[in-house]
Amino acid sequence: MTGPVEPPAGVPARPTINDIARLAGVSKASVSYALNDLPGVSEQTRERIRAAAGRLGWRPSAAARSLSNARAGAIGLAIARDVRLFEEEPYYMRLLAGIESVLAREGFSLLLSVVPDAATAVEVLRDWWAERRVDGVILTDLLVDDPRLALVTALGIPCAFRGGIDDRLPAGGHLALTLEAERESFSAVVAHLAEQGHRDVARISGPREFLHTRRRDVVWDEVTTAVLGAPQPVVVSDYTSQGGLARTRELLARTVPPTAVVYDNDVMAAAVVAERRALGLRIPEDLAVVAGEDSMLCRLASPAITSLQRDVVADGARTARLLLDVLGGHPSTATVGEPRRLVVRASSQGSGETGLTPPGGSSSARR
């Protein structure tokens, strides 16, 4: 078995068709015909030119490809989140890994920008589209009144939506979306906590301007009413560790504090477990903790955290595949992902028989 062929000495690091023509002993026009699979050269000459190009390590430029096929070869993703969240949140790295796994295989690159808000994202997306830098875009974390949705609709930008969206998705062959199955996930969590003896349960959510938070709020009320007889409280946070700790302190200061809290992500849940002694808690004896997202944070915590598990990498890959299907001329599509699977760990097991005692009462009076 032989190793790679070394290019001739003196060839530039970024060879052009001029270099290929010199090495193959042909004209520039012949090189162009051969590399673009056009008639005008014999098969023998075509093979000689291709061999010369291979020896030089030549690759067609992205600019030349875009001019010839009207494609940029790139997909845009402008994430409208506080960049500080990326210091803590494992979710996005897994989502990006899934997206890239499909795009790289299909010869597309990912153009990524992290911006502070949706209005800034609109400007970024508009510039990318006007400059022909992207063939389509992926949108995540849609807002209740999201200006990005109006933009891609008005300009006809091929788009795949990730996560929450409702029936206001406009008609059009350039759009695709992936939804999350929330009801089955919350039903499993609330049933588990009820089996452990919990009757006072709370949830700490993400910001309510997100469509996925609004949808989860509706499902949470319905599921907790069905299982526990009344809708259980929800307090709003920002997905960060400090936000989760602050909202947890507020819940624990209530006259009747919850004995179990479900957090919308892993970061908030892991922060509470890590700071349990500062909070004056035993987990799960005083407070059962459940994370709405699973990650290494949940598995490495002590005690390990019960969580809702899903394959985020596969979700990212599915979203990228939907967008490439749209670019390929397939009709717009909607898919619903698998429900997140409840993984029971030590943070909620055997936790319902004790709990924080509210002022002036016993823990048994709360159940």
More confident residue, 6 or 290: 290
The pLDDT mean for the chain works out to 83
Question: Which of the given ranges, 16-30, 187-201, 326-340, has the highest pLDDT on average?
Answer: 187-201
Segment 1-5 shows an average pLDDT of: 40
Separation in Å, CA 151 to CA 126, 176, 288, 291, 361: 8, 15, 43, 34, 56
Q: Is the pLDDT of residue 338 over 90?
A: no
Q: Is the pLDDT of residue 310 over 50?
A: yes
What 80-84 contacts at long range (C-beta under 8 Å, 24+ apart), as own/partner pairs, is: 80/115, 80/116, 80/117, 80/118, 80/120, 80/121, 80/141, 80/148, 81/114, 81/116, 81/141, 82/116, 82/238, 83/114, 83/116, 84/240
**Model pTM score:** 0.75
Give the contacts of 61 (CB within 8 A, at least 6 positions apart).
none
Give pLDDT, residue 90. Answer: 84
Give pLDDT, residue 320. Answer: 92
More confident residue, 224 or 70: 224
Give pLDDT, residue 10. Answer: 53
Give pLDDT, residue 172. Answer: 54
* Cα 212 off chain centre by: 13
| Whole-angstrom distance, CA of residue 285 vs CA of residue 290 | 14
| Whole-angstrom distance, CA of residue 312 vs CA of residue 298 | 15
Tokens coding 279? 């909070």
Segment 122-147 shows an average pLDDT of: 90
| Whole-angstrom distance, CA of residue 58 vs CA of residue 78 | 32
Q: Is the pLDDT of residue 68 over 60?
A: no
Give the contacts of 364 (CB within 8 A, at least 6 positions apart).
none
Segment 2-9 shows an average pLDDT of: 45
